[in-house]
Amino acid sequence: MSRFPDTRFILSAASPAQFPADRGAEVAFAGRSNAGKSSAINAILVRHGLARTSKLPGRTRLLNFFEVGEDRRVVDLPGYGYARASDSERATWEPAIDALRARSSLRGLYLIVDARRGLTAADQQLIEWVDPTQRYVHVLLAKADKLSRAEGRSVLQHASAQLARGVTVQLFSALRGVGVEEAQEVLETWLK
């Protein structure tokens, strides 16, 4: 049984004017392109193909909002690390992401990191941006199935040591279902 049985896509926003009303609670999902964010969203919300919506042409640089319950939302942010993103594209989505931070409904951030790559400077910047003293931050070390058990333990330890106080972190694999329940529990708690 899904914990979020009523999940549906609401809208894609290029600018704050298009955001849904700042009511209830929402959680942002972010990560470098290809880190496994879409697969993580699909696995956590138990909606195969849901986050594919965010990958449709023209939507990858937008903020995609999903409703996961009454006035409860997940916001899929554009994948970062696009070397090719043009200045004009950045000029559109950077202010939009900034505006998200000003919303009182924003409870926190799920940061998706490729477990083999570990935390990058861009990931750390995003954590600072959201400010872990003000909001929740939970890191998913994704594609953990590509690591041995010992490697997984070591990557988890290393990431924990690098993260600011209060930031939580776990191993995750959408492919093998590793850590999905833990990730669902955290999300459910934040959205209460």
Least distance in Å: CB of 47 to ligand GDP?
13
Give whichever of 36 and 108 is closer to ligand GDP, judged by the CB atom. Answer: 36
Q: Are 176 and 145 in contact (CB under 8 A)?
A: yes
β 63-69/72-76 pair status: antiparallel
Q: Are 45 and 67 in contact (CB under 8 A)?
A: no
CA 65 from centre of chain = 12
Residues 5-44 that bind ligand GDP (CB under 6 A): 31, 33-39
Q: How far apart are CA 114 and CA 23, in angstroms?
A: 32
Q: How far apart are CA 139 and CA 11, in angstroms?
A: 25
Give whichever of 51 and 106 is closer to ligand GDP, judged by the CB atom. Answer: 51
Give whichever of 118 and 166 is closer to ligand GDP, judged by the CB atom. Answer: 118
Least distance in Å: CB of 65 to ligand GDP?
16
Least distance in Å: CB of 25 to ligand GDP?
23
Q: Are 55 and 38 in contact (CB under 8 A)?
A: yes
Give whichever of 39 and 105 is closer to ligand GDP, judged by the CB atom. Answer: 39
Write the interaction track for ligand GDP spanning residues 56-95; mark x where CB under 6 A is met and - where it is not: -----------------------x----------------
- The helix (H) or strand (E) run that includes residue 9 is strand 8-13
Q: Are 155 and 147 in contact (CB under 8 A)?
A: yes
Residues 139-168 that bind ligand GDP (CB under 6 A): 142-143, 145-146
Query: Is residue 134 within the footprint of ligand GDP (CB under 6 A)?
Result: no
Q: How far apart are CA 186 and CA 92, in angstroms?
A: 31
Least distance in Å: CB of 192 to ligand GDP?
26
- Catalog residues that contact ligand GDP under the rule CB under 6 A: 31, 33-39, 79, 142-143, 145-146, 173-175
